[in-house]
Structure 1
Amino acid sequence: MKVLEHPARTVKPQGIGARVLRKEDQRHLQGKGNFIGNMTMPELNEVAFLRSPLAHARITDMRVPKEGAGRIFLRTDMPDALDIIADSTLPTYQVSAIPPLAHDKVRYVGELVAMAYAPTRAEAEDLTELVEVDYDDLPVYVDTDSAMKATSDFIHDEWKDNTFVTLKADTNFDELASQAEVVVKQKVSLGRQCMLPMEGMAVLAYWDHQADQLVVYAGTQVPHLVRTGLAEFLDMPQEQIRVISPDVGGGFGYKCILQREELCVAWLAKTFKKPFRYMEDRREHLIAGAVTREHDYEVTAYANKRGKVLALEATITINGGAYSVWPFTTGLEAGQAVGNLPGPYAFRGYRCTTRAVATNKPPFMPYRGVARTGVCFAIELTMNAIAREVGREDWEIRFENLVTPEQMPYVNVTNKHLDGGDYPASLRRALEMIDIEGIRARQQKGSPDGRLIGVGVGTYTEQSAHGTSVFASWGTPLVPGFDQAFVRITPDGGLEVRAGIHSHGQGMETSFAQIANDVLGIDFSRIKLVHGDTDRTPYSSGTYASRSLVMSGGAVASACKQLVPRMRKIAAHLLKSNDAAALEFRDGRFFALGQPGGEASVSIADVAEAWYLKPHLLPVDVDTGGLEISVGYKTKVDTGAFTYCSQAAVVAVDPHTGQIEILDYVVVEDCGIMVNPMIVEGQCIGGIAQGIGTAFYEETPYDEFGQPLASTLADYVMPGATEVPNIRFDHFETPSPNTEFGAKGVGEGGGIAPPAVLFGAVNNALQGLGVEMTQTPLTPHRLLTAIEAARHSGENSSTGTTGK
């Protein structure tokens, strides 16, 4: 591990930088987790939904049989549940209203049409099948081309076309593009994916008569945002709603919005004052949860003869599905795409148009890496194309264009404040780790099994913990501000930490305890994190955008630091010292130096005992705020802290079967000061596994009628243990100057680069065949089709004909 721009620091055994085992793993490994599916309570009813079989149709009539009365509900039965509307301040944005249940028309296969409840899920599903619905077919817009060409029968009748929003950027483009000696064009596209957390969407709601409160257990990343949304769309005061997020089995962005199923189940509990639960099954998720990654890019790079990019022009089209979700809207994906396409590169001319287009598919949601997987794929494959055009190695072009450490901090062409690091050094280290010279020699020699060896590289930035001004610029209806943490010393010297974020697998109970231990020295086992309950925690917009450790972790560190002066005054009184400032605080104790008879000290537990149990020992001027405090925190620069990373892969491609084996995969990550390197690596490995899925396996294709063609895990292919290689790591640590202890977010990073890196490696292996792959996922069928097309093209060229 290399520490950049930072003096040597001592890592405490349980503090920041220690590889401490995760606190939460014990209960999960012993089957003691508390998930919504584990919960039981008297009179609990299970909820099921009737879903649309058509992608675009008007509902002309709906009939509920008498035996379903009072247990089957249509939109007309829910007048006090409002449509979910995610508005935006972005110019050109068109608003879409999401009804809790469809009533005038359906806009994608799997859309909710009716709701039923019964003592069991099977009985509830039987009830939904009693509902009769008459549909009148409308034109189906599966792809963005057909949607943009439509002149009538728009997906939303009140719209002027089928485009949610169009965003543009233009900086110094004409001047710098005119100086180019080389012009390279590149088209790439990404297939639509599901997110597939281990636990699907889950919600349980009931009425607490004692508190006169609607209680909603939601498997969510954003409990406070869900409460805000439920209050708005159920027209209730927020104090009458309590949202609790227990253990959550993964989210990846799927659980960071208000889902219409959550609204419907909450409405049932509010209306009937009984408990109701809905658990999404896997087929529902595969049909209605195919909500991400579908981007198309047309990129033109303007460079000099060495491959130095002067200007970049791009058109990005995002298949946004049928609705704009609350609260982030499709503007988030579009804004991230136009803003992050330049990545880690230092060109100064830029022109980009990004369109989020409405189609008859499920609504687009933020997924791990929000737009950045797509922009990394596009910019990295463009860099490879430049390298081929100018006759240099892929990594040489990157060294030509990466922001250098001498330029840091660097404000790039889209006003991103890259806060530090050595991007070229990370790439150089990745090349060393895969032994690039050895790989080139192996390629020259050839493989005895006939497979083709290829190597790919990629460098990216991950904008983490971006805040108020950034989200405001994306026009979202809710904008994150200060994250707060509440900390309290317990009467026996333990520590209780309350934070408004929520974990869905990131190890926050461990990391936050390490942060508090680093400041206060309280034993790791004595520090408890309370999160996921709107009645017990301070407000936070939640866990997304790699923000939790930086924002809420920064608040925890700040709050713990602000407790020290309060305790110091009490400690000085207990030590009979007149100079509290002279006391040294280390490892959870206050020391009065130079005392007769040796060094005297008192512990945090001694101070707590005086405050809570023996107040007669307190000084008269004690701080009456006591040993608890709530502190708000946000980063010094609102555009966030920029993690960066270089990844490299070596693959073997069988040109006869289309099979691809990943022989080696290396990661050189710099996320600033790592609180727990083991957790960082775990996050990266999980992200890379998802990135391998994006690159080679995962896709939900649709037919011309908008029917999803991958509705089971027999059709929707995911990487397993045999498809994920042994991933090797090296770490740099460049502390961010803009965060509390130099940390940067890392939660999304692993999933950003793999498609770019792996496609680069495959294309490198296939360059002798004249094949370039640019569409995810890279299935054996697509690969063999491309190889066959290249072979025919070559044969036709040799006989003077043109291949088609």
Structure 2
Amino acid sequence: MTGAPPDTQAKGIGARLARKEDARFLSGRGEFVADIRRPGMLDVAFVRAPVAHARIVDIEKPEGWESLVYTMADMAEVKPIVAASKLPGFQKSEQYPLAKDKVRFVGEMVAMCVAPSRARAEDLAEQVFVDYEDLPVVSDMHAAANGTAEGKLHEHWDSNVFLETQVDNKAGIADDVVSVRRQLSTSRQCQVPLEGRGVVCWWDHRLNRLEMTSAAQMPHINRTGLAECLGLDEGQVRVVSPDVGGGFGYKGILLPEEICCAWLAMKLDRPIRWIEDRNEHLSANANCREHAYDISVHVERSGRLAGIDCDAIVDSGAYSSYPFSACLEAAQIGSILPGPYKMDSYSCHTRSAATNKPPILPYRGVARTGVCFALEVMLDIAARELGIEPFELRERSLVGPDDMPYTNITNKLFDSGDYIACMHRAVEALDWSGWRARQAETNGRKRIGLGLATFCEQGAHGTSVYHGWGIPMVPGYEQCNARVTTDGILELQIGAHSHGQSMETTMAQVANTVLGIDPEQVRIMHGDTGGSPYSTGTWGSRNAVMSGGAVAAACEKLADRVRRLASHLMDVAADDLIFENGGVVSGDRSRSMTLADIAHTWYRAPQLLPDDVDPAGLGLVAGYKMRPDMGTFSYATHACAVEVDTVTGAVKLLDYAICEDGGVLLNPMVVEGQLLGGLAQGIGTALYEEIPFDDEAQPLASTLADYMVPGAAEMPHLTIEHMETPSPFSTFGQKGIGEGGAIAPPAAITNAVNDALGGLGAEIHSVPISPERVIAALEAAHESD
């Protein structure tokens, strides 16, 4: 079935099937980490550093309560977190669960306090005295990258740079080109899932293993890292991830808090819990997205993109987080900046700067949001230079449908699609010409602007891609354990875990497509390393392709076994049996048998089985890997209309349109939900969300009173158009699409704002586009007149 969509069924792939998960979530019966209680459980609060860079001279535990306070000296046998890369020149950091010798960012954990309640633990934490000796603070990524910062984060390093990369595919460019150059930036922000992080740990003496319940996207990866740090074998660690209230990459790393709670649970032989509060989340744990670009694009007079030159810096913070490392964000810029465009020449220099800020973490879209912003804003600037519409410029350089599959200038293999048609459908859905007419009528205080952004999203990255990064995690075969129970229920254990992707629904739809079983008779089991097959987990828009492929492979193998059994029991040739309505039917429809009947025979009436029956029965493990395993490429164009108030600087979204192509959609309704959620996050990046730091690297937005996130009132009218170009590489032609909604909005909205301000000579170069930045751009334009 590779490369072609299956027939659409009422409950199979392509159906808008209602989410199975919603019944428990909407009725308040979900189970999150904070809902879990264990007898004798104790709560933990952490003493966190109030300064960004300092030596720890002394830690004084409160008199009489010393046994309830722990420092790294008490945990001497615990190894630090090391997320190194084998890329040439990478400088590795060691992050101890509790700071050892010195602290490197505000909020770094220095001591752990334990008590019967979180409130009492916090009271105890306030009584811990830490004597700090201040060190020079590295707060600016440009100074860190350029070697002009006074301090050094890691004494054994040559510089404050984790990794420097260079991609150089430069070629000659004609003299008669339009070249534009700008310095662009995205601000540091937070992921802000509805549920923060949480950990509950205890030691199971019967099984002689550590039990950890954690709001984790990648339970098996957390188990591997935790076992390494604690000196346990992986069989002694079970990680269970229950319902997870949003992850977005934030819950895709090994946490220092997990190591601390696990160690303390073993030491005290008591269940230990830590639930993150929002202040910890905003000020210390959840930083992402801080990029700076010095970028030039070269465009021929015809509008064709000739080349790109870029120097990019990512503020990676103080440590390299496990498993993705500090290199992934900046190094990816070099490989994905060209996006879906053809060009003759390309060069990109990147640096991952180390600063006295929290470690930068993956966030929905990872580097793609930044590179889409940088390139797409520049293409609109070039279009204005040439006096043509932005979509006219893009259509002259986008990879065409006849080029597919296409290998681009950085050796990315695009599988399928029609990027040009997608862009034009988004433009039409917005009614671009109608908004242009309205724009011509409004040249006063409130000005209308139009913008768009096009991108492609590599999802379901394979072994070859991640092996090249040299980090502690390389995806391989995704597996599924499939079993039919005695009463005919299909149980599917997968290694990936859901934190909003509707996998309990979509994986059941895959099973329905292969076996004809009602999704209500399918039980998806995930998030438990004690039973699920090993997986690198949920990240990189991989589940529809990888987990979907594994479930399909397992169901197909199971179908072969069921056919053989049914053939004997029904006296019908196996090749003449069809799966439908939860059973098998003969080709002439004269005989049928339910899956429950077949299961009953296998488990409870084995005397009816043939002598040569497969003894493996109705349970099996199957694996899946894409060939080639370079990933799928979904893509989209976002187009929008905005209103800019030139007096207050306020930006209002008037209309928004998305045309996306995720290949064959497992469930279009689920895809639309992903797009809506991603769009909300992208609007936050574009207009509201920012954690500024002062010169001493103190965070200046540590509460939700200071950190703005969009709500329902900030969501614009939205039109969604679907294209479905099957991937020739995946099982059903599906592509990864989970991150796409968040990638384009900052670029599209910035382009619309710049379009509105273009007649005034003003231009926005940084997001979020706060009123202050709009007013500053207008004032700068006025001063330059």
- TM-score normalized with structure 2 length: 0.98
Tell me how far apart the structure 1 counterparts of residues 75 and 148 of structure 2 sit (CA, whole Å).
Answer: 33
* d(CA) in 1 for partners of 2:285, 2:272: 22
Q: CA deviation at 1:82?
A: 0.9
User: Shift in Å at residue 339 of structure 1?
Assistant: 1.0
Contact 1:6 1:735 in 2 (8 A): yes
Equivalences for residues 329-348 of structure 1 within 5 A: 329-348=325-344
Residue pair 2:138, 2:151 contacting (<8 A) in 1 also: no
2:554 is the counterpart of 1:563: no
Task: State the match for 1:651 in structure 2.
Answer: 642
* Match of residue 443, structure 1, among 433, 439, 447: 439
Instruction: Please name the residue that 1:157 is paired with.
Output: 155
1:51 and 2:37 correspond: no
What SS is found at the alignment partner of 1:329? coil
* Counterpart Cα distance in 2 of 1:14 and 1:254: 33
**Identity among equivalent pairs (%):** 49
Question: Does the CA contact (< 8 Å) of 1:348 and 1:412 recur in 2?
Answer: no
Give SS of 1:401's match: coil
Alignment of 1:590-629 (within 5 A): 590-594=584-588, 599-629=590-620
1:14 partner SS: coil
- Indicate which of 529, 536, 547 corresponds to 1:541: 536
Q: Look up the match of 1:580.
A: 574
1:202-217 alignment, distance < 5 Å:
202-217=198-213
Residues 251-262 of structure 1 aligned to structure 2 (within 5 Å): 251-262=247-258
* 2:219 counterpart of 1:231: no
1:132 aligns with 2:122: no
- What secondary structure sits across from 2:640 in the alignment? strand
Q: Given the superposition, is the C-alpha separation of residues 470 and 593 from structure 1 closer, same or farther in structure 2, using an over 3 Å criterion?
A: closer
CA distance in 1, matches of 2:67, 2:610: 65
Match runs of 1:349-428 below 5 Å = 349-428=345-424
**334-343 vs 684-693, greater mean Cα deviation:** 334-343
Q: How do 1:48-87 and structure 2 match up within 5 A?
A: 48-87=45-84
Partners in 2 of 1:304 and 1:570 — Cα distance? Answer: 67
- Matched residue type, 1:40: R
2:663 touches 2:734 (CA, 8 Å); kept in 1? yes
1:713 aligns with 2:711: no
Q: Distance between the aligned counterparts of 2:92 and 2:372, measured in 1?
A: 29
User: Which of 123, 140, 143 in structure 2 is aligned with 1:143?
Assistant: 140
Match of 1:744 in 2: 735
Q: Find out whether 1:472 has 2:467 as its counterpart.
A: yes
Q: Which residue does 2:518 correspond to in 1? A: 523
**Cα distance per residue 1:497-534 (max 9 Å; x no partner):** 10011111111111111111111111111111110010
Contact 1:192–1:290 (Cα < 8 Å) also in 2: no
The answer for the alignment partner of 1:782 in structure 2 is 773
Residue of 475, 482, 505 corresponding to 1:510: 505
**Aligned residue number for residue 264 of structure 2:** 268
* Residue 457 of structure 2 is aligned to residue 462 of structure 1: yes
Of 274, 277, 285, which aligns to 1:278?
Answer: 274
Structure-2 separation of matches of 1:26 and 1:765: 45
1:88 is matched with which residue? 85
SS in 2 for 1:438: helix
Q: Structure 1: how far apart are the matches of 2:316 and 2:734?
A: 33
Instruction: Give the match for residue 724 of structure 1.
Output: 715
| 1:313 equivalenced with 2:314 (yes/no) | no
The one-letter code matched in structure 2 to 1:343 is G
- Larger CA deviation: 416-425 vs 300-309: 300-309
Describe the SS at the equivalent of 2:712: coil
Distance in 2 between the 1:25 and 1:221 partners?
Answer: 19
User: How many angstroms apart in 1 are the aligned matches of 2:240 and 2:479?
Assistant: 18
1:180/1:302 contact within 8 Å kept? no
Is the Cα contact below 8 Å between 2:640 and 2:653 reproduced in 1?
A: yes
CA contact (8 A) 1:164 1:358 kept: yes
Could you tell me which amino acid in structure 2 is paired with residue 658 of structure 1?
A: G
Query: Deviation of residue 593 (structure 1)?
Result: 3.6
Task: Determine if contact 1:692/1:719 at 8 Å carries over to the other structure.
Answer: yes
| Structure 1 residue 434 displacement after superposition | 1.2
User: 1:582 and 1:517 mapped to 2: Cα distance?
Assistant: 19
Equivalent residue number for residue 798 of structure 1: none
TM normalised by structure 1 equals 0.96
Equivalent position of 1:552 in the other structure: 547
Which of 766, 778, 792 lines up with 2:757 in the alignment?
766
C-alpha distance 492-177 of structure 1, shift in aligned 2 (>3 A): same
What letter matches 1:241 in structure 2? Answer: V
Tell me the amino acid that sits aligned with residue 578 of structure 2.
Answer: E
Deviation track 1:621-648 (CA, whole Å, cap 9, x = no partner) reads 2111111111111111222000000110
| CA distance in 1 between partners of 2:638 and 2:286 (Å) | 27
Q: After superposition, what is the alpha-carbon deviation per residue over 1:269-302, rounded to whole angstroms, capped at 9, x for unaligned? A: 1222110000110011110134111000111122
Instruction: Show CA shifts across 1:628-669 (max 9, x none).
Output: 111111111222000000110001111111111111101101
Residues 6 and 734, structure 1, Cα contact 8 Å, conserved in 2: no
User: Aligned pair in 2 of structure 1 residues 8, 534: CA closer, same or farther (>3 Å)?
Assistant: closer
Aligned length: 783
1:560-612 per-position Cα deviation (integer Å, ceiling 9, x unaligned): 011111111111111123x3223333444333345xxx722222222212111
Larger displacement relative to structure 2 (431-440 or 45-54): 431-440
Matched, 1:481 2:476: yes
State the AA in 2 paired with 1:513.
A
2: distance between equivalents of 1:696 and 1:142?
24
- 1:689-700 to 2 correspondence within 5 Å? 689-700=680-691
- Once structures 1 and 2 are overlaid, which stretch shifts more, 282-291 or 112-121? 282-291
Moved more, 762-771 or 56-65: 56-65
Q: Is this contact kept in 2: 1:35–1:247, CA < 8 A?
A: yes
Query: Amino acid of the residue matched to residue 580 of structure 1?
Result: A
1:180 to partner: Cα distance: 5.5
One-letter code aligned to 1:166? E
SS in 1 for 2:327: helix
Pairing 1:634–2:630 present: no
Cα distance in 2 for partners of 1:19, 1:585 equals 21
Corresponding position of 2:26: 29
Show the counterpart of 1:676. Answer: 667
Q: Report the CA distance between 1:151 and its aligned residue.
A: 6.8
Q: Report the alpha carbon displacement of residue 418 of structure 1 after superposing the two structures with TM.
A: 0.6
Task: Work out whether residues 186 and 385 of structure 1, in 8 Å CA contact, stay in contact via their aligned partners in 2.
Answer: no
Match of 1:702 in 2: 693
- Distance of aligned partners of 1:9 and 1:473 in 2 relative to their CA distance in 1, 3 Å threshold: closer
* 1:102 aligns with one of 96, 99, 104: 99
Question: Residue 221 of structure 1 aligns to which amino acid in structure 2?
Answer: Q
The separation in 2 between residues aligned to 1:180 and 1:615, in whole angstroms, is 81
Equivalent residue, structure 2, for 1:589: 583
Provide the C-alpha distance between the structure 1 equivalents of 2:149 and 2:638, rounded to a whole number of angstroms: 45
| Equivalent position SS for 2:166 | strand
8 Å contact from structure 2 (residues 5, 733) kept in 1? no
Q: Distance in 2 between matches of 1:566 and 1:418?
A: 37
1:118 aligns with 2:139: no
Q: Find the aligned partners of 1:169 and 1:40 in 2 and give their Cα distance.
A: 52
Cα distance in 1 for partners of 2:22, 2:580 equals 29
Tell me the distance in 1 between the aligned counterparts of 2:697 and 2:635: 38
Q: Residues of 2 paired with 1:335 and 1:608: CA distance?
A: 51
Note the C-alpha offset of 1:8. 8.1
**Paired residue type of 2:385:** E
Decide whether aligned partners of structure 1 residues 180 and 83 sit closer, same or farther in structure 2, where only a CA change above 3 A counts.
farther
For residue 530 of structure 1, what is the amino acid of its counterpart?
Answer: M
